Amino acid sequence: MIRLVLACVLAFLLPALPGMAQPAPDAAPAPAAPSQPIIPAPPAIAAKAWILVDADTGKVITEHAADERMAPASLTKMMTGYVLSEAIRTGKVKWEDTVRITPNSWAQNPAFIGSSLMWVDINSDVSYRDLNYGLVISSGNDASVAIAEGLAGSQEAFADMMNQQGARLGLSNTHFMNAHGLPDPQHYTTARDLATLSRAMIVDHPEDYGVYSQTHFSFNNIRQMNRNELLGEPGVDGIKTGHTEEAGFCLVSSAKRGDMRLVAVVLGTASRAARTEESRKLLTYGFSFYETTTVLQPGAKIAVAQVWGGAAKSVELGVTRGVHITVPRGRVADIKALAVDVHTAVEAPVAAGQELGRVSVSLDGQEIDSQPLVALQPVEAGGFFTRFWDSLALFFMQLFGKA
């Protein structure tokens, strides 16, 4: 009994005695580290090849067999339209100029039997504007040949123009033999090249790109519907369908939601319904789990470079074009922009736009973009004494490795 009482007394007194070790209280749980957003695997796509890219940044979100050469079918007409838009831009022709329809471009040409047409009449004169509508909306093979003959005199010469434009745009796995896409062993492209062509068309000719969103076109009292069945869905405003037995059912689609535009290329599906559904899957995935943000605005001050021998002691640096980055949704706050390699030995005069450094953009410690830093304003040479003393100071700095 006495031992029990002593034990109770000690249990009461010991915690109050100085220097006595105390059991640590249960530690509060550490705050959980912020979790990274969950990005699921891309959807399975029932096609021979595909690619999904951001139209502004060129970021490839998902791809499969994107560099495999395939028959493009009527997707060829995207380049036909691009060449026509270039001819309009450079002033070679005007939209209201007309083309005489020859037996080669006549809708009754036996080579066109069973193919899509805008139904032009032989010996008629049709404007480039109508031919462009017939090319894009009706997917007319007759319109394609008429444009080719109008701009180049023959399909063969026009194919050379197409290939020259392809080389300029960097379509390294594409070769055209005609303006419409009917099969030829030397007529091929890839999903990646078609995405590149799509981006060029949207960026280089935005005013002409609007035609690709139109759902129907009437010519010769014949009303035809655009075969792109994604038109009318959220943000979808293009681009082109294609089909031959060799190519399968193909679709290049583009949609813009908010500030983000995506391009999806799907080649070699089994049906019209399949090309629509598989393209929808890609666009939905991209918009759901990725976002594009502008990290650096063109013309905004990013850094300052010291100028030696100038009327001004420094010059502001920035980028000439906006820097847009595509990242998994929820990671925008993690993007870091860092000015690097700002030149120290900058001597006047300095021209506006002169490259004086670089700026890099990184995510998780990995550089994801890099752009030149350029002078945002000119700096003229200073007076004699300014140039003399600055050149002397710069000489000693370079001598002792300070510049």
Instruction: Report residue 326 as tokens.
Output: 């595509």
Judge whether 94 counts as a catalytic residue: no
Sign of CA dihedral 69, 73, 75, 78: positive
Please list the residues that pair with 297 across neighbouring strands.
Answer: none
- For tokens 């009706």, the residue is 138
Residue 203 makes CB contacts below 8 A (sequence gap 6+) with: 55
User: H-helix or E-strand containing 324?
Assistant: strand 323-328
Q: Give yes or no for a contact between 192 and 252, defined as CB atoms under 8 angstroms apart.
A: no
Q: Which of 74, 85, 115, 254 is catalytic?
A: 74
Preceding amide of 34 cis, omega within 30:
no
- For tokens 């093979």, the residue is 141
DSSP character string of 169-208: HT-TT-B-SSSS----TT-BB-HHHHHHHHHHHHHH-HHH
Judge whether 281 counts as a catalytic residue: no
Q: Which of 105, 116, 139, 253 is catalytic?
A: 139
Of residues 335, 305, 169, 142, the one with CA closest to residue 224: 142
Longest Cα–Cα distance in the chain = 125
Q: How far is CA 288 from CA 57, 68, 325, in A?
A: 17, 28, 16
CA atoms within a 13 Å half-sphere pointing along the CA-CB vector of 70? 32
Axis-axis angle for helices 77-89, 128-136 (nearest 10): 150
Q: Give yes or no for a contact between 226 and 134, defined as CB atoms under 8 angstroms apart.
A: no
Judge whether 77 counts as a catalytic residue: yes
Of residues 313, 151, 131, 136, the one with CA closest to residue 241: 136
> What's the residue count for the chain?
403
Please list the residues that pair with 63 across neighbouring strands.
Answer: 51
Q: Which of 48, 59, 77, 240 is catalytic?
A: 77
CA distance 119 to 114: 13
Phi, psi of 111 (to 5 degrees): -65, -20
Sign of CA dihedral 176, 178, 182, 186: negative
Q: Which residues are catalytic?
A: 74, 77, 139
